[in-house]
Amino acid sequence: MRFSAPPYMYDVLPFPSQKEPWLHTAKWRGVENIFRETARLYGFREIRTPIVEQTELFTRSIGESTDIVSKEMFTFTDRGNRSLTLKPEGTAPAVRACIEHGLFGEHSLLKLYYVGQNFRYERGQKGRYRQHQQLGIEVFGGSDPSVDAEVISVAMAFYRAVGIQKLTLHINSLGSEQSREAYRTALKGYVEPFLQEMSEEGQVRYRVNPLRMLDTKNETDLRLLKNAPIFTDFLDEESRQHFDALQKYLTALDIQYIVDPALVRGFDYYTGTVFEIRGEGLGSQDALGGGGRYDGLVAECGGPQVSGFGFGLGIERCLLALEALGIETPTVNEKPTAFVIAAGSEPEVKIAAMQLLNRMRTAGIAADMDFTGKNFRKQMKHADDLGAAFLLILGSDEVLNGTVQLKDQATRTQEQIKMEDIELELNNRLKH
Ligand code: HAM
């Protein structure tokens, strides 16, 4: 019996593979670290929530008629007969946790970030998986358009730091519930005469969630919708002012954007501003990230009337975009600084090598050695393969006279150093 990862889920490996170089943990950590550092720079704190939640949290917040709730959730009954769902997104769990722990009462403005796994039973393809990881931001308590700009600027700063410049920021406003209702009616009225010509999916959306008709890649639907009424024409005055102010902030912050009236996003909780960042080289799955304002969600989930604004960025799409654009992916350094080589099979040499290795690590110097009984030549090759900067070679002579041979792999020079000076010597060399 051979087991494999579930469909459209993947393993991230400790070494880069030829076929899928982006599935390498050192790259994932490199990108995650940049996100954490960006979030710290902007004054955000981390929240971690369980991988599962009560199913109702998602049906209520995301909306029964959305694709996620109606066909993509991984839902199961636990042994206590509770319906639980693997989280399909991170916003509702963050809201639930803040309500449960009374954080809204204690902080007038909460700036949170998370790095978390999400599960959606989607039709898999490159860039669209059934388990994906989001780097997310949520701000609670700020209804001013400067909050929208602040959150969007974190996303843009992250991509700048990662090295992705070929991207476009699409923004739109979904306005108030009244303006959405007026727009829905106008859109349905426009589509009605040629409803039968629309794709099956378009027709379903017409009935259950008309705004989502705009979110299509179907050629026929796009053609039919070409002259559809435009959302921004239906905006109420307050939402229009908010949206105008956001655009002024973005311009002042040197962030370029496109106003995209067809941008509706797939969650019912959005109110007002929505945005999406699209990248190049990703084919149809080009949304690097997206988010928006959700001023009714906290109250809907049983909390106080607190507004929210956030986004989620898919780490997979970020890594795929870097690969497609030929940009070097930020990677954490996993090379050992020093590699200890036992030159000889005498037990005292091996013991001294283990002690030396221990000393290195105690001094905070990343170090490794062979544990499989390789001969001298193979140990040297192993050190090369790992990319160690220095070799610490110990034979029975060195053990007897309390020294070690220090070989600098960059200069290929070798020197005998007193054992008690080795940490100091290495630290000095590392400084230069
Ligand atoms: P979302 O647009 O569904 O938003 O997901 C955010 C990002 O996660 C997408 O732009 C994409 O990069 C990535 N993503 C989503 N689904 C997949 C998938 N199946 N495979 C690979 N990557 C995927 C949300 O989830 C909202 N909670 C964002 C938000 C936060 N809005 C407000 N606050």
C-alpha distances (whole Å) from 211 to each of 130, 135, 161, 270 are 25, 27, 34, 12
Residue-wise pLDDT for 302-311, tens only, equals 999 999 999 9
Q: Is the pLDDT of residue 332 over 90?
A: yes
pLDDT band at 299 (very low <50, low <70, confident <90, very high): very high
**DSSP 8-state secondary structure symbol assigned to residue 231:** G
CA 289 to ligand 1 center in whole angstroms: 6
pLDDT recorded at residue 400: 96
pTM listed for this prediction? 0.94
Number of residues assigned to the chain: 432
Ligand 1 within 6 A of 314 CB? yes
Ligand 1 within 6 A of 88 CB? no
pLDDT recorded at residue 105: 87
Residue-wise pLDDT for 233-260, tens only, equals 899 999 999 999 999 999 999 999 999 9
Ligand 1 within 6 A of 90 CB? yes
CA 18 to ligand 1 center in whole angstroms: 28
pLDDT recorded at residue 341: 98
Rounded percentage of the chain residues whose pLDDT exceeds 90:
89
CA 278 to ligand 1 center in whole angstroms: 12
pLDDT recorded at residue 65: 86
Distance CA 126, CA 140 (A): 33
Q: Tell me the two tokens of residue 412.
A: 């290929």
CA 290 to ligand 1 center in whole angstroms: 6
Ligand 1 within 6 A of 191 CB? no
What are the phi and psi torsion angles at 131 (to 5°)? Answer: -125, 125
- The pick from 317, 319, 320, 322 for probing ligand 1's pocket by mutation, whose C-beta has the most ligand atoms within 8 angstroms, reads 317
pLDDT recorded at residue 281: 81
- The pick from 53, 66, 89 for probing ligand 1's pocket by mutation, whose C-beta has the most ligand atoms within 8 angstroms, reads 89
356: nearest Cα among 397, 394, 407? 394
Q: Is the pLDDT of residue 40 over 90?
A: yes
Ligand 1 within 6 A of 113 CB? no
pLDDT recorded at residue 375: 95
Summarize the confidence of residues 394-408 as an average pLDDT.
Answer: 97
CA 407 to ligand 1 center in whole angstroms: 49
- In sequence order, what are the residues at sequence separation of 6 or more whose Cβ sits closer than 8 angstroms to the Cβ of residue 295? 143, 271, 272, 307, 308
Residue nearest to atom 31 of ligand 1 (CA): 291
Nearest ligand 1 atom to the CA of 313 is 7
CA 420 to ligand 1 center in whole angstroms: 54
Ligand 1 within 6 A of 30 CB? no
Nearest ligand 1 atom to the CA of 289 is 10
CA 348 to ligand 1 center in whole angstroms: 57
pLDDT band at 345 (very low <50, low <70, confident <90, very high): confident
pLDDT recorded at residue 164: 96
Place of tokens 């989001």: 134
Which stretch of DSSP H or E encloses residue 173?
Answer: strand 167-173
What are the phi and psi torsion angles at 33 (to 5°)? Answer: -60, -40
Nearest ligand 1 atom to the CA of 310 is 33
For the chain, give the mean pLDDT: 95
Summarize the confidence of residues 51-55 as an average pLDDT.
Answer: 98
Strand order in the sheet with 131-140: 45-46, 110-119, 131-140, 308-314, 287-293, 273-279, 167-173, 258-259
Ligand 1 within 6 A of 312 CB? yes
Which stretch of DSSP H or E encloses residue 138?
Answer: strand 131-140
Residue of higher predicted confidence among 246 and 211: 246
Handedness of CA 119, 297, 170, 27 (dihedral sign): negative
